[in-house]
Amino acid sequence: MASVIHVEPKAKWKQVKIAPDILSKCGFDGLIDLQVLTDYELIKSTKYSFAKDNRKQSVSENKLSKNKEQAAQLQGTEAASKRKKKRKKKAETLEVCSELPTPHKKIKLTTQDAAEDIIEGMESWNGLYVPHDVLRALKDLGFTEPTPIQEQVLPHAIRDRLDIIGAAETGSGKTLAFGIPLIHSILEYNNREDRGSPDTAFDDELQNSDDDEEFDVSADQQGEERNEEIEEEEEELDTDETEDITNEMPDNEESDSDEINVLQDGETGLVKVIDNADFTWLDNEPDSAKVTLRSRHPLSLILEPTRELAIQVRDHIKAVAKYTGIQVAAIVGGLSQHKQLRLLKRCPEIIVATPGRLWELIQEGEPYLSRVDEVRYLVVDEADRMEEKGHFEELSKLLELINVDEKKRKQRQTFVFSATLTMVLPGPRRVMKKKKQNNAENPKLDMLMGNIGLKEKPKVIDLTLKTGTVSTLTEARINCKMEEKDYCLYYFLKLHPGRTLVFTNSKDCIRRLMSIFTLLKCHPLPLHADMHQRQRLKNLERFTANDKGLLLASDVAARGLDIPNVQHVIHYQVPHTVENYVHRSGRTARASKEGLSVMIIGPDDIKNYRKIMHALNRSVDLPVFPIENQYMPEIKARVSLARQIDTNEYRFAKKKHQNNWFEKAAKEIDMELDEELLNDLGNTHEQTQHKCQIKQLKATLDGMLGQSLMQTLLIGRYPTKMGKLQNFQRTHDDQDALKRVKKEKLSQKEIPIMDQTKPLNKKKKQKWKKNDKKEK
């Protein structure tokens, strides 16, 4: 059991007088009483304890805590050592806590002013209705001006409160285009004057409740410290023991809000808040001691197709909401369910979720999510991906649940965003105008758009370019035979170092490349759906930390991931759809930065390549990526050797694995094993020989890798030109793949792309093949 802190009162709770005008001004009509306790002791206890309001939740909670216990048992030694560390940390926290240093005396009831305050250097955001506290955070991030999609969306979303269908190129800032309106609306909701007005659907459901919450308002609970602690807890990926639930506190800040004195000079104390409505008072700060209302159901729900994306969006919105006290939680699969349940207990206003885990928790009866139909703001991000296998079913059920009440649906503001929405929905307007009309091309998405529950006249903001990709992206291609793809990739990585994201169409391909490029000491990191979530996130982190990092990914990483400064995206296999090409390529050239995307096109990829070019309205072929042939012999020698080692190792390991399996199975059923069933691994001597052989091959490869490619040109194979040594020093521009393509593009002839709409006749096929050969 983890240690928790209990409060032992030494005197009675005293009532705090609150001026009625303050309450009415702030719209805090649910507040019944505010009490303060100044004489108390903090006691460390090992007893399992949750924070207060568990009464209504007992049934589902029992089930969930059982799950948690089972999960905890499965965690093993690694989790145990983490728990140990955590306990140590908690003990340190307790020590600090028991000191109760500087006292504070006030609780401020903050009224959030929706009007803009001018902040120096942030004038470009004027007229977009961005809350002052958000502007401060944007300034901290260095976002001095809005991106075009933000500029277009914000007034319609905030001022006009319209549902929005937004499409803009990758990396154009769509997250904040829906994130800022959510924050604005939540601040407004929390401070609204009309709370409880009878015609408000959401207030019809207010239930009387005698729930109360306790807060230590001592100065050790500095907002920043607490936020850090909570963040750490969110990031920790294993299940740990239960600790007392504390409430997140916003950063310290000054604001022009009303204040209530709850303590006398020199006093420290706890504050108890008692309310009668579906909200609670969770936040206070030591100095400015702000109290913020929190809803007892999620106010905003953002649905994302992948876990990484959900976590990223949570972090992004958190960063801009940091001065507002608004809490954001990510509910995603693959991570500790127990932790997510604890986060939900803090009543986060914004939930960013993947449909699967969210649906799972709703079905298990998680109390906060049981009122998910009350969400006032719904975002379906990457909407066109959501209709794909693995999302559609759960998402449909979720949407059905959320939209079950027509009145609530009408009160809701809905946002649907994607960079490729217009590609899959050639007429989003048409779909919206006539929901019933069948989009024969994509009936699933059509249905999804209908189920989302958009109101009659959503605002469609489409800033996507005709060319599909972002204008700062440079695209190129390498045509080669299937077996040459590895050479081309190794060539690129060696001669053009930089943070590179390589996409493949299959997990098997990632596994093969992982093995070969590890042998070639390129230090690749994998990312695909079959990996543990913890490892996926770790690899992303490691990739982000290395400016020459290499990530081998499936399309799970194609959408939305905002990894800073990815210089190159390589399509080792051409994707099957134009959307995937656009999203994959969009991992580079983000936020007005430049980037390079290269397709390695083998004979099997030609069909997809041409399909994509056609869908992107390209009339000429992509430029050919320049390859300096003098390096190729050495490149081929290294890669071939690595492949030989990989194949040998793989075959031997596979045989061994099969034999082990047979032997184990036979033993289990107490059966004598027929030797003929086993693969021939050779006798012990032969096996040792095999190992030695592999060792030798590895040593040879290491020797080759020990030399730079330039050196290999000098020592023998291509040492001279006209009898003299060449200067093989590569300039920075030679190494910069993007500059090389741009330069090369100018000297290359533009080759028209053949019409894709008609099937190719024999003549055209030959012409295409000829062109291919010439380029090579």
Ligand X SMILES: Nc1ncnc2c1ncn2[C@@H]1O[C@H](COP(=O)(O)OP(=O)(O)OP(=O)(O)O)[C@@H](O)[C@H]1O
Least CB distance from residue 173 to ligand X, whole Å? 3
Least CB distance from residue 719 to ligand X, whole Å? 47
Q: H helices of 452-589, where?
A: 485-495, 507-519, 533-545, 578-585
Decide if residue 171 touches ligand X (CB under 6 A): yes
Q: Taking Cα atoms as reference points, which of 309, 465, 271, 453 lies closest to residue 377?
A: 453
User: Two tokens at 398?
Assistant: 């979720």
**Using CA atoms in the order 160, 163, 165, 166, what is the torsion angle rounded to 10 degrees?**
50
User: Two tokens at 23?
Assistant: 């309450």
Decide if residue 428 touches ligand X (CB under 6 A): no
Least CB distance from residue 592 to ligand X, whole Å? 8
Q: Which residues pair with 524 in a beta bridge?
A: 550
- β pairing state of 377-381 and 40-45: unpaired
- Is there a contact between 286 and 223 (Cβ–Cβ < 8 Å)? yes
Least CB distance from residue 136 to ligand X, whole Å? 14
Residue in 277, 419, 448, 600 binding ligand X, rule: CB under 6 A: 419
User: Two tokens at 451?
Assistant: 């189920």
Least CB distance from residue 662 to ligand X, whole Å? 48
Decide if residue 152 touches ligand X (CB under 6 A): no
Decide if residue 591 touches ligand X (CB under 6 A): yes
Q: What is the 3-state secondary structure (H, E, C) of 177-239?
A: HHHHHHHHHHHHHHCCCCCCCCCCHHHHCCCCCCCEEEEECCCCCCHHHHHHHHHHHHHCCCC
* # residues contacting ligand X (CB under 6 A): 18
User: Quick one: DSSP state of residue 157?
Assistant: I
Q: Contacts with ligand X in 569-588 (CB under 6 A)? A: 586
What's the one-letter identity of residue 560?
G
Least CB distance from residue 384 to ligand X, whole Å? 11
Pick between residue 172 and residue 500 the one whose CB is nearest to ligand X: 172
Pick between residue 79 and residue 570 the one whose CB is nearest to ligand X: 570
- The burial class, CB within 10 Å (0-12 / 13-18 / 19+), for 46 is exposed
Whole-Å CA distances, 675 to 293, 397, 544, 654, 679: 73, 53, 50, 17, 9
Q: Give the orientation angle of helix 632-668 with respect to helix 485-495, to 10 degrees.
A: 120
Decide if residue 501 touches ligand X (CB under 6 A): no
Pick between residue 146 and residue 498 the one whose CB is nearest to ligand X: 146
- Is there a contact between 132 and 185 (Cβ–Cβ < 8 Å)? no
Least CB distance from residue 175 to ligand X, whole Å? 3
The window from 39-47, 174-182, 194-202, 265-273 that contacts ligand X (CB under 6 A) reads: 174-182
Least CB distance from residue 559 to ligand X, whole Å? 6
Least CB distance from residue 525 to ligand X, whole Å? 20
Q: What is the CA radius of gyration of the chain?
A: 30
Q: Contacts with ligand X in 617-656 (CB under 6 A)? A: none
Decide if residue 170 touches ligand X (CB under 6 A): yes
Pick between residue 109 and residue 502 the one whose CB is nearest to ligand X: 502
x-or-dash string of contact with ligand X, 531-570, rule CB under 6 A: -----------------------------x-x--------
Pick between residue 83 and residue 590 the one whose CB is nearest to ligand X: 590
Residue in 83, 104, 108, 174 binding ligand X, rule: CB under 6 A: 174
The window from 45-53, 165-173, 466-474, 767-775 that contacts ligand X (CB under 6 A) reads: 165-173
The window from 146-154, 345-353, 608-616, 669-677 that contacts ligand X (CB under 6 A) reads: 146-154
Residue in 35, 93, 152, 172 binding ligand X, rule: CB under 6 A: 172
Q: Give DSSP secondary structure letters for 26-89.
A: HT-TTEEEEEEE-SEEEEEE-S----S--GGGHHHHHHHHHHHHHHHHHTHHHHHHHHHHHHHH
User: Two tokens at 127?
Assistant: 């007229």
Decide if residue 146 touches ligand X (CB under 6 A): yes
Q: What residue ranges bind ligand X (CB under 6 A)?
A: 143, 146-147, 150, 168, 170-176, 419, 560, 562, 586, 590-591
